[in-house]
Amino acid sequence: MKKMVLSVFSKSVYLSIIVITYIVYVDISLTKAGHFPEPAISPQVCDFLGNISINAMPAKPDDEIAFFDLSGQLCGLFIVKQSGQYGFLHVYGDDPASQADEGAISGETLYIKVWDSQTDIEYQGDNIRLTPGTQMGSVLPSIVPPQWQANSRYVLNIHASLKGDINANGIIELSDAVQMMKHLSMVSSCDNCSFTRDITHIIHVLQFISNGYLNFFP
């Protein structure tokens, strides 16, 4: 009887270990999984750090920042750990000793994408605004747009926002177009004003909204 109890206890402990191991493994795999794939690693590195905001708010943990070279090769990735900050983000260069394309070459312009983990929205192109950061010791302010240089470190602040999202709520909606129209109605003179730019934004917002409504119809 004693042996049977010990046998049942041993099986329970064994099963518990398996379950705990499985939970830990799944948790680790989930933390590694993300929106962007991991870049190819090479010995050629250029580092970036700075502030990161999404719709005028500090980026949250698990948001992602990805750097790409001109060919579209993802060569740098950082998952935000501390709100509003990123780095060092390693941007890998192409390894001349390898036939594969790992990343950028000296002087190549880089472009950036940002993924909001809360809303599952990816920002790129005109929805990304970059500003040079303040020098931090040997870490220099980045030029804009950033360029890849081996063994260099730069401060670059990244601001992601939806073009046409006037009320900065992360959604392009009719109220954004209404606010733009109200702004235009108050413009009495077009001398040195942004009339053409505002009209372009309104068209962009209305097209975005109309495309959203059309998706409801077959």
Share of the chain above pLDDT 70, in %: 60
Query: What's the CA gap between 79 and 62, in Å, rounded?
Result: 5
Residue 206, classed as helix, strand or coil, is helix
In DSSP terms, which residues pair with 111 in a beta bridge? 68
Q: Which ranges of 33-150 would DSSP assign to H, the alpha helix?
A: none
User: Which pLDDT band holds residue 41 (cuts at 50, 70, 90)?
Assistant: very high
Sign of CA dihedral 68, 72, 74, 78: positive
Number of Cβ atoms within 10 Å of the Cβ of 92? 24
Q: Which residue has the higher pLDDT, 217 or 161?
A: 161
89 vs 97, more confident:
89
Report the distance separating Cα 34 and Cα 91, nearest Å.
18
pLDDT at 123: 94
The number of beta carbons lying within 10 Å of the beta carbon of residue 216 is: 6
Candidate from 63-77, 108-122, 150-164, 170-184 with smallest mean pLDDT = 170-184
Q: Region 100-110: what's the mean pLDDT? A: 93
pLDDT digits (tens, 9 = 90+) for 64-76: 999 999 999 999 9
Predicted local confidence at residue 203, as pLDDT: 63
CB 103 within 8 A of CB 113: no
Query: 168-171 long-range CB contacts below 8 Å, 24 or more apart?
Result: 168/55, 168/56, 169/55, 170/54, 170/55, 170/116, 170/119, 170/121
**DSSP-assigned beta bridge partners for residue 113:** 66
Checking if the pLDDT of 31 tops 70, the result is no
**Bridge partner residues of 77 (DSSP):** 66
- Please report which confidence band the pLDDT of residue 108 belongs to, taking 50, 70 and 90 as the band edges: very high
Judged against a pLDDT cut of 80, whether residue 161 lies above it is answered with yes
Average pLDDT over residues 102-106: 93
- Mean pLDDT of the 32-45 span: 85
More confident residue, 175 or 113: 113
Residues forming a β-bridge with 31: none
pTM over 0.85: no
Work out the average pLDDT over 128-154: 97
Residues ≥6 apart with Cβ < 8 Å to 94: 42, 44, 101, 102, 103, 104, 105
